[in-house]
Structure 1
């Protein structure tokens, strides 16, 4: 699988969760990627997560976090 295809699949998973009303509540860098936690509300005990392996998907997540912070200002 090409790097672009890997990114595209991870981006589709992220976008699908965001469309369902999930928001990013936590990220953790790991040796081979990034673990991202999503929840509908920050205090919701029922969370889901993704492991992102492509650098472009990790950059995409960071962009979403920055956009969310800018809107909060």
Structure 2
């Protein structure tokens, strides 16, 4: 049986640098285990970099294997 992890991340609120740091930690934690990210809640709102968050998530989704 293949091992797989799912990381659930909620309420990014336009905090781009924090999002990137969190994803790096998750990827390191998963090591060689296949993993997915599940984003919940608000991507934008209140944070300083909402446009960067949206652009980054769209790029990540486009480059993810299907």
Does TM-score exceed 0.5, indicating one fold? no
Q: Which has the higher strand share?
A: 1
TM-score by length of 1: 0.40
TM-score between both structures, scaled by the size of structure 2: 0.42
Higher relative contact order (CA 8 A, sep 6+): 2
